[in-house]
Structure 1
Amino acid sequence: MRRLIITNGDCAVAVMQSAGFEAEILAWRDVLHEGQIDSRLELESLSHLRASHIANLGWAEFEQVSLDFKTRDSVLKDWHAFDHIELWFEHDMYDQLQVLQILHFFSLSKILRSSTTLSLLDNATYLGRCTASSIRDLTPKLKPVDQIQLELANSAWLAFGFENPELWSLLKQRDLSALPFLSSCVTRVMQEYPCIHTGLSRSEFQALQVIGSGIVKPGKVFAACQQLEEAIYMGDLSFMLVLNALMDKPEPLIKSSLEGQQICASNFASHKLSITSKGQSLLGTTGSFTTKSQIWERWLGGVYLNKSTVWRWDDQRKLLIDITAA
């Protein structure tokens, strides 16, 4: 009997291997909350787009990432060669977006009509922190995937990779209980839109708060921001993008002791951060934010956020709003 386990990354793979899992284990190494997602693309085309983005960030060479994705995708497309396929993912946004992509793929197949079983871990656990013993204890938490879950994941994935965020925000009006961690994922993605009061994403504002409290080393800022999350999802490389966004605004909100140097893996520990007067003023902002040039330009799913973006996160009403609507 051939068993395939698909999970979120190498830390989880290492724990599973130490636990003696008799299975082929596939790591889904993609930070889907960073960079463009076009959910209309087939798997191979989207993988090429994702590899280009990762390479452009300087996180890895395009050729290597492209090869890794090609190898990963070939295993997924050969799903019918396995008797059992298990999706082991965590409850945070990073993992739940991966779950949506994978279930979207299976929604286009006929896996539920085949002899291959498909199951999903339904448990709020950080897999990379498990011991060999505790991760084995999670096996009973696996539950069969049904058609309702596949259809819901398909709708959510298409919404995430659409050029307008309205479809994603409308998910909150649906019953999302078939995928128990989807509701919090939808909210956390929306919180990365510019806040109507500050113009900052939640990640930016949290970092600004921490630095404003007097924490100056990027590693300690990162750790403090992790503690502010309901479910930790961000890695240090992504967090460096957040810090650089705060420094690179037309009116910088933070500054570094290494003037003129971007924060990167090689100098991460060398920076000492401080908040600017503009940053300090935003911490107490309660009115409407109007400085569009301060918005962090980047892709979030299928939406390119920039000064022309009309969508804002309303942290009081807990929804996305179009600021041009009457």
Structure 2
Amino acid sequence: MSASRSSKSGKSTSRPDQPIFDGRLNLEQQRKRAKELLRDLRSGDAHARTRANDAGHPVHISDLGTIQLADSQLVIARENGFPSWPAMKRHIDQIAERHRQIASGTVPVRDTKSTLHLRCGSDIRNGLEIAGFVGDFLEFADPFCQGPVPDLPLDQFVETRADFIAQSYQIAHKDALARIKREYGALTTLGTYDHVVLWFEHDSYDQLILAFLMDFIATTRPNTKVDLISVGQVPGIDRFIGLGQLSPELLIWCWQNHRMPLRADILTFGTKVWKALRADDPRHLKTLAEKTTAPLPHMPAALKRHLAELPDPQTGLGLTQKLTLQIIKDHGPVTVGKVFGHLMRRYDPLPCLGDLMFWSEIQWMMDCKDALFTLSASDPKTNWAEHTITLTTTGHETLAGRRNFLDNFTGVRWVGGVRINPSPA
């Protein structure tokens, strides 16, 4: 679909200036950083000492004369997510070897032509090919983090989702319906493969689709081996957005370090989540979100982020709406594309939206009697991301909680199976 993951990790037009890091650490760069940190620590720099303390290697004033390069190297390694400098060096060396193998065409084949790689988007398709994977690729990308997810029979459910996708992402209904039917229909072929690998990350876009797939697999019981790759953090990446940002070498790392067989308890938990997601009462979903341990470890946090889209009692805003207004207040007037970039990079605690999905959020926020913001004059030749957006007085008052958005709202919004209507007149 047009809101698939190809647009979550790959579109640079809606990003801040710097590119998203692909996970390939450079050893020489890390050595330079360690030497710079050593210099700062020896000079008593407060920020450097804070970094060391945050990394679990505190440096006291009395120790300044005895600090060694090994101390600063340990801090750098821990900042990058490794327990030690040697562990980080081994990782970097392994990634460098994968790069050499890919460049020379000698990368080992890790799957077979009877393997199916299933992903909620097309963002890693090319990367898997470069990394030497030879199996088929299937995209299933119905974005359940947006729009109605009602408890309906599958045929009616598919129609409902197609209606939403067509209206929200400005594509012809027949095209939306054809694609969504094709993607749901393709799931019936899982049993024709010897091995199915599910590639997912930690946000609600991925995890809600994963819950659906757990319910589907638990119901249909395809006669095949199924593995799950679910990634929430990658060494060296301070703010991991998604698999689509990773280099082919790091996709191999995910395969080697995060792949696990699909167990019965995972299927059971995923099925419970899928049932709760479609309910018109969010209480059961809230209970699942409070799990401190779960067979799907990234699911509880993703559910909390999803539930944060329910209206705040004081402002009437979901979290994406609130953060959007906050970004415009902090940086505006600003282009819509830069608002999206700030949201993904810094403001959203667990970003999940693709660029067109965010544009839909902007349009839904315009369904109100008194505008929250203004957009620069529309030009058919101007990309939506280039429009300048400016907060209005109503927007300021709503963000501050002096007005409730639901009193102003004229549309309909969904959070899973929960329908959100304007406040009664």
User: How far has the Cα of 1:151 moved from its partner?
Assistant: 0.8
Amino acid at match of 2:336: P
> How far 1:214 moved relative to its partner?
3.1
1:134 is matched with which residue?
250
Q: What residue is the counterpart of 1:279 in the other structure? A: 395
Secondary structure of the equivalent of 1:213?
helix
1:117-156 matches, within 5 Å, as 117-124=225-232, 126-140=242-256, 141-156=258-273
Which structure 1 residue ranges, 5 or more long, are not aligned?
310-326
Which residue of structure 2 aligns with residue 223 of structure 1? 341
> Could you tell me which amino acid in structure 1 is paired with residue 225 of structure 2?
T
Distance 1:153 1:194, change over 3 A: same
In structure 1, the residue matched to 2:407 is: 293
Q: Quick one: structure 1 residues 270 and 283, their matched pair in 2 at CA, closer, same or farther if it must change by over 3 Å?
A: same
AA in 1 matched with 2:226: L
Change (3 A) 1:264 1:120: farther
Cα shift at 1:39 = 3.9
Report if aligned partners of 2:309, 2:318 keep a CA contact under 8 Å in 1.
Answer: yes
Secondary structure of the equivalent of 2:314? Answer: coil
State the AA in 1 paired with 2:398.
L
**Is the contact between residue 152 and residue 176 of structure 1 (CA under 8 Å) also seen in structure 2?**
no
| Contact 1:84–1:117 (CA under 8 A) maintained in structure 2 | yes
> 1:172/1:93 Cα in 2 relative to 1: closer, same or farther (>3 Å)?
closer
Matched, 1:203 2:317: no
Alignment RMSD:
2.4
User: Per the alignment, in what secondary structure is the counterpart of residue 118 of structure 2?
Assistant: strand
User: Which residue identity is paired with 2:390?
Assistant: S
Aligned residue among 351, 356, 364 for 1:237 = 356
Distance 1:122 1:31 in 2: 17
Identity between Structure 1 and Structure 2 (%): 25
1:33 partner amino acid: C
> 1:278 & 1:192 partners in 2: Cα distance?
20
Q: Give the C-alpha shift of residue 196 in structure 1.
A: 1.4
Aligned pairs, number: 300
Question: SS of the residue aligned with 1:180?
Answer: coil
- Indicate the larger mover: 194-203 or 245-254: 245-254
Structure number with bigger Rg = 2
Matched, 1:23 2:148: no
1:57 offset after TM fit, Å? 2.3
Q: Do the aligned residues in 2 keep the contact of 1:217 with 1:271 (CA within 8 Å)?
A: yes
- Residue 58 of structure 1 deviates from its aligned partner by 4.4
Task: Write the deviation string for residues 126-156 of structure 1: whole angstroms up to 9, x where unpaired.
Answer: 2111112211121121101111111111111
Q: Deviations over 1:216-273 (max 9, x none)?
A: 1111111111121233211121212222233332222211232xx5x99954144221
Secondary structure of the 1:22 match is coil
What letter corresponds to residue 367 of structure 2 in structure 1? D
Letter in 1 for 2:340: F
Indicate which of 363, 381, 384 corresponds to 1:268: 384
* SS of equivalent to 2:321: helix
Higher helix share: 2
Normalising by structure 1, report the TM-score: 0.84
User: For 1:137-188, what per-residue CA distance to the aligned partner results, in whole angstroms no more than 9, with x for missing partners?
Assistant: 2112110111111111111111111122222122234455211111111111
Counterpart amino acid of 2:375? S
Q: Distance in 1 between matches of 2:228 and 2:386?
A: 42
Q: 1:39 to 1:143 in 2, by over 3 A?
A: farther
2:420 to 305, 319, 323: 305
Partner in structure 2 of residue 61 of structure 1:
172
Distance in 2 (alpha carbons) for counterparts of 1:221 and 1:284: 19
Which of 94, 101, 108 is 2:212 aligned to?
101
Distance 2:171 2:355 in 1: 15
**Preserved contact between residue 172 and residue 183 of structure 1 (Cα < 8 Å):** yes
Extract unaligned runs of 5+ from structure 2.
Answer: 1-111, 234-241
The Cα shift of 1:90 comes to 1.2
* TM-fit CA distance, 1:78: 2.1
**1:65-109 deviation digits (Å, cap 9, x = unpaired):** 322233323331122211111100111111111111111101113
Matched residues in 1 for 2:381 and 2:232: separation?
30
Which residue of structure 2 aligns with residue 324 of structure 1?
A: none
SS of match in other structure, 1:88 = strand
Q: Is the 8 A contact 2:321 2:365 kept in 1?
A: yes
Deviant stretches of 4+, over 6 Å: none
Q: Offset at 1:121?
A: 0.7
Name the amino acid aligned to 2:244. Answer: G
Change (3 A) 1:269 1:58: closer
> Does structure 2 conserve the Cα–Cα contact (< 8 Å) formed by 1:8 and 1:29?
yes
